[in-house]
Amino acid sequence: MNLQVVYCNHLTAGLDVREKLAFSVDRMLHAYTELRSRFPAAEAVVLSTCNRVEVYTAQEFSEAAPTHAELARFFSDFHQIPESEFIEDLLQQTGPAAVQHLFQVASSLDSMVLGEPQIVSQVKEAYQIAQEHNACGPLTHALFQGAIRVSGRIRTETKLAEGRVSIASVAVGEFGRSIFDRFDDKTVLVIGAGEMAEETLTYLRNEGVQRVLISNRSADHAAELAAKFPGSATRPFEELDRWLTEADVVVSTTGATQPIVTVDRFRKARVRNRPVFILDLGAPRDFEPGIGEVDDNVFLYDIDDLEATCEQNRKQRQAEVARAQKLIGEETDRFMHDIHHRATGPIVKRLREQWHEISRDELELLNKKLSHLTTADRDTVERSVERIVNKLLHPPLEALRKEAKGGAPHGLLDALKRLFHITE
């Protein structure tokens, strides 16, 4: 199996790098078209969230595998940014390490908030989008289905999902509570209407929020989100400046490719000098970083600001992390074994059948020539021939098993096919 992932995440790269490399949903078609053009023999899945940008590729033969340099060039050309701005932050894993990496990602062990449930939904969505663009194949199907299954096992067999396990809960619980003693008298403006917006709004409602305004480029999507929270109201996206002046809490999760609120725009909209808590969960960011310095009553937090608090969360769960890592190690070994068996099994079966078929033919000829042999003698000869065949098969099949375990059995497989004229 030839599988690799190139990636950067909140552990390896700052938000300023991640937002430059992020893939928006409306550009996925272009991304997959470009990947298919550059690497026609490779399967591909792109996973892009606020905390990570990852491209998984897989192919049958190692010579068709995209290199780290080639994928870095793809990022550079696609996003129109020099490689020098991100190359040191773009890491690579191959073979079993790539499998383990995705299993950790889907299980939230690689998340900023340990145990958060949203990542597995994002992995499922990335896999689904790749399928819609005909970018998947046997290896990526097996890999992502395995990752989704493993995440379910981690959730049910460990306690990682206990406590505050979402970015929204950590942000509101830690940062929001440091600004406001209560939320029931606050006006909340939600910009965007996706899954993250819904999750954050759910948590704010649990904190007592009464008045919610929802503004989104798609009025229909805003209405759909508002319908899930009785008492919420939608507001035209074109009048965003007006609603910014009314809000005590702003939550933004649009996924826009450029900041939707600049420093100048915010300064003009800020007509009241009272505390405002802005939670920017976009990647790229929706609010320019300088907005946090407009005055002392503006409290702007983005994804990277959550890092220190989330690290405390992680330290408190080390025992569960160790248990989850053990399960993921077992699942990675199991996955590799299954994939290697799938790759080598048909050839091993055909080679055994071929050699034993030859031995049976020769035994039949021998029995005709030596008709005077007793049944017991014939059985003895047959068992001896079978042992000889098995002993002759053992060295090439053992070599194939060892090479497959290393993750690249195709060279030896091809040699066996040619040497023994094996057809699948």
Question: Which residues are catalytically annotated?
Answer: 50
C-alpha to C-alpha distance for 90 and 103, rounded to whole angstroms: 19
DSSP state for residue 66 in the 8-state scheme = P
Between CA 189 and CA 195, with CA 191 as vertex, the angle to 5 degrees is: 115
- Asked if 161 contacts 155 with a C-beta cutoff of 8 angstroms, the reply is yes
Torsion sign over Cα 303, 308, 310, 314: positive
Which token pair is 107?
Answer: 């299980």
d(CA 209, CA 202): 10
Q: Do residues 152 and 159 touch, judged by C-beta distance below 8 A?
A: no
User: Cα(50)–Cα(113) distance, rounded to whole angstroms?
Assistant: 12
The number of C-alpha atoms within 13 Å of 221 and in the hemisphere containing its C-beta is 14
The helix (H) or strand (E) run that includes residue 58 is strand 52-59
Paired residues of 93 in beta bridges: 5
Assigned token pair, 198 = 């819904």
Q: What is the Cα–Cα distance from 57 to 282, expressed in whole angstroms?
A: 26
Residue of 241, 240, 234 whose CA lies nearest to 220: 234
Q: What angle do CA 265, 291, 53 make, to 5 degrees?
A: 105
Angle between helix 318-369 and helix 307-315 axes, rounded to 10 deg: 70
148 residue type, one letter:
I
The residue whose two tokens read 């057809």 is 423
Q: How far is 359 from 347, CA to CA, in rounded Å?
A: 18
Q: Cα(413)–Cα(403) distance, rounded to whole angstroms?
A: 10
Cβ(320)–Cβ(101) below 8 Å? no
